[in-house]
Structure 1
């Protein structure tokens, strides 16, 4: 049966990095003789320009009938002055909500050639490999509409709302992930202040009984923010609510030394997922052909693993990226020694490393 991947290039460097990831995916599928159809739709600022909305209904409909969605980036200063509901970022929030994607997976892993690019000491970031599982559809970002109160609107109210079911499903996802990793889970909240966090902690304790092999630690968000800098290697899987996860995952991204290296996945209970790089649209370098495609290529590896059940091919892509970096190839944003390449050249090197892996694997099978 033909699989369908919807591609949402978005804004800025989005079209450039998604094109790179699609090249890599097509190479994988051609090698395995898998029939996959790619369909491109608009989102974000590009959709505002063409359709008058950051999330056209046509885009939602296409994503809903796909096996997976690959997204580039949305936003840019061009749309900064628009009303909040019309900004490109509403397209991203909207597609997550429309597809029911409740768990955002953000890994933080150091790459040996990039350790010196981290703002932290090499001894502190060596061996860092953890995942933040962030709840995506509840909390402050999706509470009832904000209110401005008082005769001069000098007061404002935002609402943090969660249901028990919303919390339990993302916590269960995190436990399942921890079982496949090092079996350590840190649940992050603000239970000393917020009632929503106290309920969060109760539900984590309840779900933990279903996963006795996973060691659970409860941590306050402010303490966790400090520990991410003091000793990031201690973490395995971190699970937390929407806003806390938004902030902590951006903090964690800097540990690795470059936003251009970090993939992400947004998942639900079935296999449909949305995959995107952590970085933004970088309008200052858009169209110059120098954007780092590796975060999007690694997001494509996530797509293979979580939506298409192709863990082997996902691993091949991840190892190919490691190989390319070990050989000293990099894009200009990575301040390391070696040979700087443009977007297309970096993608070529990943494909070359994949071909080498294919050849080696074939030789081992024939031996």
Structure 2
């Protein structure tokens, strides 16, 4: 690297170190007010209305989105729009989360008196515990940022990072205390990669008449026909009231023939794999994929009480978009 490239790397590392230190200072500032804010939100029947100007507003939009996607109803309200009618978006039981590094943002201070007069509670995030916004709030969360990562100590850098981290801390605390589950998360993320990673096996498995079922004493040549007709390159072997006793795949057939076995003269049990790997219908697709990769297999039976109720092929997982 040339001197300019080296200087850029040094600057980048310095900025990250400054922001790392700011997060450390924020951790030390977390106190009973954080607990009060969390409990206030947990106990409300309304929403969290996040508001802020400039960079604080951008961070506030992300905080509102994180809260909403993790079980706490929330949306972002632009303070400049609020004073021109959008205050009507706030309703009974709502809590306002106001963000301002200085605590003296004019647009925020213009709406706080009205919000308080209407009886709505306010949680504020600022870097000045003696600011007007902090004093007007029911609960104040202190950022404790000593210095911005910007060499001029002007551009919101460490302060915006700390605010974002504090918003994440609030969202995760609320998530855990609400008992928010992966299933809940999936309901709020039906699209995109997040939703797909939370997809259940039951959503992609083949069932009913699609299942290639044979018995241990089925002539192997008949099983080969079933495997070909169903198109999975495998058949599930069942006995004793439909309990799964094995699986036979194209790979099993090749290995059987290589050892001198005869398709015309053998039964399915002669070539099948006993006690095959299987999954439950409520298992995540991504977990089923991990099993396939670990054991180098492409087909998995889906069982319930040891009976096959479905089948998942690697092609189904690829089509699902999980990977």
TM exceeds 0.5? Answer: no
TM-score normalised by the shorter chain: which range applies? under 0.3
Normalising by structure 1, what TM-score? 0.22
Using structure 2 for the length normalisation, give the TM-score: 0.24
